[in-house]
Amino acid sequence: MGAEDAFSYALSSNAAWAGYKNHQNPAFFPKLATGQSPSILWIGCSDSRVPETTVLGLQPGDVFVHRNIANIVSPTDINISAVVEYAVVYLKVKHVVLCGHTSCGGAAAALGDSRVGGVLDTWLTPLKTVRHAHEADLKNIEDAGKRGVRLAELNVEAGVKVLMSNYVVEEAIKERGLKVHGVLFDIATGKIRDLGLGNAGMVGEDGEIVKGHHGMLVFKEGGVAAMTVQ
């Protein structure tokens, strides 16, 4: 299928989808047009194999989205900062999900020693920084594919730390119990694996958190406290 044919097919497919959705629920699109109230902010990779709404089994309007190459979260990226601020402050999402994935071309490029070219080398610098910080551990992984998956996991971990340090995210965690998740999508199985990062599952019903230099003290219902090392 040529490029023009692919686009024509996409338009035809869209018309069929819109017609089906309208037949299924005539109020769906009119309601969608009145505004959005997604409960999830999804930060993922631009990879065409990881379409967030599809893999989550959700509908238009359910997920607010930011995607970039290799799902890199940088504190100096005004684009992602604007998305996070809008989603957290104005849309008041309940979950922020940072998703990496297997077979990531960005991870493979960061693991290599040759230049990619153009602006991509600059963009992948944070990912290469993660690689260098974990050089010894990554070199111990002989299989190149598994090494790439491990770097993808470490990249998510680094991104979650940046998100948890974002002021609006910190405030939303304290004030209304916003949950931050780090996950990995396995392209070969279509399943999402929770990496146990962020604060999901660690915040009490009142959302009260006290942070220290070496851990996070979480006060749960009944005054019971638990320490989670960060």
List the binding residues for Zn(2+): 45, 47, 101, 104
CA dist., res. 94 & res. 121, Å (int): 34
Q: How far apart are CA 172 and CA 92, in angstroms?
A: 8
Known binding positions: 45, 47, 101, 104
- Cβ-contact 205, 221 below 8 angstroms: yes
3-state secondary structure of 184: strand
Q: Which helix (H) or strand (E) holds 43?
A: strand 40-45
Closest CA to 84 of 189, 178, 155: 178
Active site residues: 45, 47, 49, 101, 104
**Residue 113 identity:** D
How far does Cα 123 stand from its chain's mean position? 17
Distances (CA, A) of 214 to 56, 208, 230: 34, 17, 6
Burial class (CB in 10 A: 0-12, 13-18, 19+), 174: middle
CA separation for the pair 84, 43 (Å, rounded): 9
Query: What's at 108, amino acid-wise?
Result: A
Tokens of residue 10, six digits = 């996409």
